């Protein structure tokens, strides 16, 4: 039995993320108690965590923690978190801190924070990004909770966080209760969209441009040395250079063209709709994964519908794809930050968008050179309604517009689906249009449902008797 009051933090859930976060904490001189139902996971925790304290029950883990006790839950979102809270809260004392480091829905986190507050326990909803490697060596951490509760765990979290290029820890309190998980949810939505953009770029160069994998890798490597630099671009270059050990051919040739999802992209999409804030490219990325899953239907349809007549690829296809990737990424970040701002306003969180951008400069999956531009924009104008209005980002879009349009047009002509590139372009075109098509929609709604409409020449709602 371990000695009492020896551990600085307890980690419940010693899967890949929990175990690696525990080892990261231990690297920074924290004594970590660990518990998991699985004995093998407890053994693995002990093997990678110097001075770790393996525990066989949650009660034992609580007993070895220093006061005020800090417990980090790294279990699947949903029922598992509620079940653990139900057993832990009665055993915790006022002033203790309970952290949920999983991908929980922000609404669940708000509910759990209120429940914990009734017991005097601080509840922190912690968005953790960076995957296995990030958890082990430095993730991006987005915390939601009370100032007092987060202050108690900030030294630990700041120590294990990734470092931005200027040395700043990629950790911040972004707001109360569910704000941390909300920001992480939108992070994942942006991640979905950026991955889809890159996949479309690869697919166009391969199937429209006829690029070899060697040329593809060279092209993406060159982009990695430009304004397009990002973690996702880096790993894409590595993927393009990877061969399958069984066949000796490019590994992408033997990977099935269906993609799964765990739900955060769906949450980001539905939340944006609930807030009335457009995030079409995030939505299209989710839909694209759903479409990819219809493999049998797609194979059948491919035999039913002939492809359009072949058309030559533009000579400057790679340059245009690069423009589409960079402009699309800018539009996706603009969508994501607009949704965060809308959520902050709806729930009274007062999220500092510049702090979010600062956290996303390192450790997380969507870290990119563009984030530095975004941080500069939000530092100059914290209340900027949309990132595309920043003069520097607007100039980026203007420079890439022609190539972006050529790429989308070439893809459509060739029958190559580019839902992310096209929706990002439509978002930008729609946002910068002084007059859209919604007058027809207002008229239609009033004609069939007497919903009324607004006139351009005076305020107020009016109704036309269309059938007279």
Residues belonging to the active site: 184, 191
Q: Long-range contacts for 79-86 (Cβ within 8 Å, ≥24 apart)?
A: 81/108, 81/112, 82/108, 82/112, 84/12, 84/58, 85/112, 85/115, 85/116
- Decide: residue 203, CB within 10 A, 0-12 exposed, 13-18 middle, 19+ buried: middle
Cα torsion for 21, 23, 24, 28, to the nearest 10°?
Answer: 140
Q: Three-state DSSP class for 262?
A: coil
Residue 295, CB-side half-sphere exposure with 13 Å CA sphere: 6
In angstroms, rounded to a whole number, what is the distance separating the alpha carbons of residues 247 and 143? 45
Q: Three-state DSSP class for 30?
A: coil
Task: Summarize the chain as % helix, strand, coil (round to 5).
Answer: 55, 10, 30
Neighbour count for residue 249 (Cβ, 10 Å): 11
| Residue 399 CB partners (closer than 8 Å, separation 6+) | 323
């Amino acid at each position: 039995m371990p000695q009492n009051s020896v551990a600085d933090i307890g980690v419940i859930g010693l899967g890949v993320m929990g175990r690696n976060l525990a080892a990261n904490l231990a690297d920074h001189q924290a004594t970590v108690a660990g518990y998991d139902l699985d004995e093998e996971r407890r053994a693995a925790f002990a093997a990678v965590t110097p001075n770790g304290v393996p525990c066989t029950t949650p009660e034992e883990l609580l007993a070895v923690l220093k006061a005020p006790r800090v417990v980090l839950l790294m279990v699947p979102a949903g029922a598992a978190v509620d079940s653990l809270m139900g057993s832990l809260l009665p055993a915790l004392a006022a002033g203790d801190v309970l952290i949920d480091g999983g991908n929980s829905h922000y609404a669940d986190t708000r509910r759990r924070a209120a429940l914990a507050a009734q017991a005097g326990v601080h509840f922190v909803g912690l968005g953790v990004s960076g995957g296995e490697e990030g958890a082990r060596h430095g993730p991006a951490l987005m915390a939601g909770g009370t100032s007092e509760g987060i202050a108690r765990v900030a030294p630990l979290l700041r120590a294990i966080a990734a470092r931005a290029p200027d040395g700043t820890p990629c950790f911040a309190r972004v707001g109360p209760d569910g704000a941390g998980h909300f920001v992480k949810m939108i992070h994942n939505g942006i991640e979905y969209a950026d991955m889809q953009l890159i996949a479309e770029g690869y697919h166009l160069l391969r199937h429209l441009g006829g690029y070899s994998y060697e040329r593809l890798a060279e092209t993406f490597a060159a982009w990695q040395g430009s304004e397009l630099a990002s973690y996702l671009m880096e790993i894409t270059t590595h993927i393009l250079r990877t061969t399958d050990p069984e066949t000796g051919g490019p590994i992408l040739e033997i990977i099935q063209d269906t993609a799964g999802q765990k739900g955060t992209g769906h949450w980001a999409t539905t939340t944006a709709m609930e807030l009335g804030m457009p995030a079409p490219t995030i939505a299209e990325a989710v839909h694209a994964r759903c479409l990819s899953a219809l493999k049998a239907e797609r194979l059948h349809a491919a035999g039913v519908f002939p492809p359009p007549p072949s058309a030559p690829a533009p000579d400057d296809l790679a340059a245009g794809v690069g423009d589409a990737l960079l402009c699309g990424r800018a539009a996706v970040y603009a969508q994501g930050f607009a949704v965060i701002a809308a959520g902050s306003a709806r729930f009274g969180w007062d999220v500092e968008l510049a702090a979010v951008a600062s956290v996303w400069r390192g450790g997380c999956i969507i870290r990119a050179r563009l984030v530095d531009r975004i941080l500069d924009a939000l530092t100059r104008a914290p209340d900027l309604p949309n990132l595309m209005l920043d003069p520097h980002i607007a100039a980026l879009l203007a420079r890439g517009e022609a190539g972006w349009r050529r790429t989308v047009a070439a893809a459509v002509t060739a029958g190559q689906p580019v839902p992310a590139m096209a929706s990002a372009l439509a978002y930008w075109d729609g946002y910068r249009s002084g007059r859209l098509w919604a007058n027809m929609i207002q008229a239609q709604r009033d004609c069939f449902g007497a919903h009324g409409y607004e006139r351009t020449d005076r305020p107020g709602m009016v109704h036309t008797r269309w059938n007279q």
